[in-house]
Amino acid sequence: MPEALKNYRDQSRLNWVSSSLPPAEQVQLGALQRIADATELMAKNYTDMQRNLDYYKAGYERRGKEIEKLKLSQRALKGVATKAKNRT
């Protein structure tokens, strides 16, 4: 990429050692843009974690209800079996 076409973000990543330094404001602007990018990435990771937490909580609750339903069914079947034994 030609030197003139680099955006401020790319210029702020360069290790400037020559006499052709860009204006300080451009480097600062590029650094701020990189900080903003990193902040957005952190926020994205946090929202992904929240979405995963909601998904697993919903699954946990759904399976808890299913387990309770199966326990009730099991108790009912044990009662039927006990009644059948007592009749004979």
73 token code pair: 């069914």
Could you report the per-residue pLDDT of 16-41, keeping only the tens digit for each? 554 555 677 777 777 888 898 888 88
Residue type, 62: R
Q: How far are the Cα atoms of 38, 58, 85 from residue 46, in angstroms, in the given order?
A: 12, 18, 58
Could you report the per-residue pLDDT of 63-81, keeping only the tens digit for each? 999 999 999 999 999 999 9
Rounded to 5 degrees, φ, ψ at 54 are -60, -40
State the pTM of this model: 0.47
- Report the b/e string of 29-62 with b at 16+ CB within 10 A: bbeeeeeeeeeeeeeeeeeeeeeeeeeeeeeeee
